Amino acid sequence: MIRRTRPVAGAIALLAALTAGIAFPAGAAAGEPTGQDAPKVDLVLDVSGSMRAKDIDGQSRMAAAKQAFNEVLDATPEEVQLGIRTLGADYAGDDRKEGCKDTAQLYPVGPLDRTEAKTAVATLVPTGWTPIGPALLKAAGDLDGGDGSKRIVLISDGEDTCAPLDPCEVAREIAAKGIGLTIDTLGLVPTAKLSRQLSCIAEATGGTYTSVEHQDELTDRVNELVDRAAEPVVTPVATEGADACEKAPELKSGLYTDREEFGQQRWYRVELLAGQELRASVSVAADRAVRPDHGLLMRAVTRHGREIVRGEATGTGRTDVLSTGLRYPKPERDDDGDKPATETVCLAVTTSFSADAGVKTTPGLPLELTVDVVDGPDGASDVASFGLGRGWWLLGALVLTGFLAGLVWGWLSRWRVAVWRTN
């Protein structure tokens, strides 16, 4: 599925704005990025033989990529540690086994020496195979260490030629490690098959895919992705839901990632104080081929199994992500009305995805869960998503106002008619 630059950028900016104010758990798992170290970016460039084709603004794909890289290197923020990895740059033979090993670090990830990096890029000549899967594995290693944001930007003009090492599976394995690494992909004059593969790679890690057909588009998009790495980011915390509420992990306000198998139900717990409001949402990405009709259900349930509120969504295969959410304001006082109470809210996430025979069902589909616990609005115990409470007085006032306005309007209308007849 081809995604154009502007819609993707706008969607990411919106998501960043929505999540900027979330406070995250202090007890993140060991190794989870906290954003304290310098952000790291590894640009992974396809230098296979097909990059000789001259179909980007009258120049070769390789020439367009080099020009874009030079401009990106000039604009890279000082705080970003940047590296460049190639695939298909060195082996020109016909031995597939050797060709699928052809990936190398052209410039190591670290503080950027612009002159040195540009000199390295200038030496590139389109040569060999397209080992995308092996290159992604190596790139993940290039970014190892530190707790800052990590991003791979993959630029290719052709699909991987080294199956059965499926690059989509490689991306899913990277995402399953919970190291906060994002892969963004760009396709140069892509085919439908390449677009599907690059989309799959990006979606597995929460990244973006963009189709580019001009050199300035390539420059702008890579610049945008490098700049994004330098911005404060919300890093999801890996968690693992349980098969029952009593076994579920307790979540604080934050952004979490998990994986859920087809048709599975996952449970999580949130503690609410009196007067607080729970706002929760969940998104599930179809990172592989699934049947078009599927659904997603999120329920807030008491520890005794009584459903409080739910959110649900259905899909028909037109989009790759399905999302829903819910809100629950905790009343100010307990049932006896004499003192504040704490309540355990169980969140149950259920999916109804299915796939044709031959499609792998493990690991499960990537799931992103947002939990936000805030002070509830005044009167949260009275006006909630599941009842008006004392809000009936406002409804009554509106009805009475409408009734009186109708009477006045009717009287005025009759008076005007009487005056008209008199005259």
Domain assignment present for 249: yes
Last residue of one domain, picked from the residues 199, 230, 261: 230
Give me the residue label for tokens 């890093």: 235
Domain assignment present for 216: yes
Number of domains in the chain: 2
Q: Name the band, by pLDDT with cuts 50, 70 and 90, for residue 413.
A: low
Return the minimum-mean-pLDDT range out of 267-271, 326-330, 404-408. 404-408
Pair 211, 271 in one domain: no
- Pull the structure tokens for residue 192: 């439908």
Return the minimum-mean-pLDDT range out of 82-86, 143-147, 272-276, 373-377. 373-377
Q: Name the band, by pLDDT with cuts 50, 70 and 90, for residue 421.
A: low
Q: Name the band, by pLDDT with cuts 50, 70 and 90, for residue 417.
A: low
Give the three-class secondary structure for 9. helix
Return the minimum-mean-pLDDT range out of 116-125, 175-184, 256-265. 175-184
Pair 226, 248 in one domain: no
- How far is residue 267 CA from its own chain's centroid? 21
CA distances from 60 to 14, 27, 127, 295 (A): 35, 50, 13, 45
* Residue 414 CB partners (closer than 8 Å, separation 6+): none
Question: What would the pLDDT profile of 2-47 be if each residue is shown by its tens digit?
Answer: 333 333 333 333 333 333 333 333 333 333 444 468 899 999 999 9
- CB–CB of 190/212 below 8 Å? no
pLDDT score of 423 more than 70: no
**What CATH number is attached to the domain comprising 308?**
2.60.120.380
Pair 110, 140 in one domain: yes
Give me the residue label for tokens 């599975």: 264
Residue 30 CB: number of other CB atoms within 10 A?
4
Nearest to 82 by CA among 180, 221, 222, 219: 222
Pair 207, 317 in one domain: no
Pair 267, 344 in one domain: yes
Write the DSSP symbol of residue 3: -
Beta-sheet pairing, 181-188 with 150-156: parallel
Domain assignment present for 113: yes
Last residue of one domain, picked from the residues 200, 230, 260: 230
Domain assignment present for 295: yes
Residue 385 CB: number of other CB atoms within 10 A?
11
314 vs 391: which has the higher pLDDT: 314
Return the minimum-mean-pLDDT range out of 56-60, 239-243, 355-359. 355-359
Pair 108, 250 in one domain: no
Q: What is the mean pLDDT of residues 330-346?
A: 70
Domain assignment present for 380: no
* Residue 121 CB partners (closer than 8 Å, separation 6+): 66, 69, 70, 73, 84, 106, 107
Cis peptide bond N-terminal to 164, omega within 30 = yes
Pair 45, 193 in one domain: yes
Pair 130, 219 in one domain: yes
Nearest to 59 by CA among 72, 71, 68: 68
Domain assignment present for 408: no
Question: What would the pLDDT profile of 298-316 be if each residue is shown by its tens digit?
Answer: 999 998 899 999 999 888 8
User: What's the confidence (pLDDT) of residue 388?
Assistant: 39
Cis peptide bond N-terminal to 363, omega within 30 = yes
Last residue of one domain, picked from the residues 214, 230, 246: 230
Q: How large is the angle between the packed helices 215-230 and 61-75, nearest 10 degrees?
A: 30
Q: Which domain holds residue 284?
A: 237-375
Amino acid at 289: A
pTM, entire model:
0.54
Pair 134, 260 in one domain: no
Q: What is the mean pLDDT of residues 79-92?
A: 93
- How far is residue 291 CA from its own chain's centroid? 22
Pair 209, 298 in one domain: no
Q: What is the mean pLDDT of residues 358-387?
A: 70
User: What's the confidence (pLDDT) of residue 26?
Assistant: 34
* Residue 248 CB partners (closer than 8 Å, separation 6+): 241, 242, 267, 268, 269, 346, 347
Domain assignment present for 410: no
Residue 34 CB: number of other CB atoms within 10 A?
14
Pair 50, 181 in one domain: yes
Domain assignment present for 57: yes
Pair 124, 173 in one domain: yes
Nearest to 20 by CA among 194, 213, 184, 233: 233
Average model confidence (pLDDT) for the chain? 81
**What CATH number is attached to the domain comprising 180?**
3.40.50.410
Residue 25 CB: number of other CB atoms within 10 A?
17
Percent of the chain, pLDDT > 90? 41
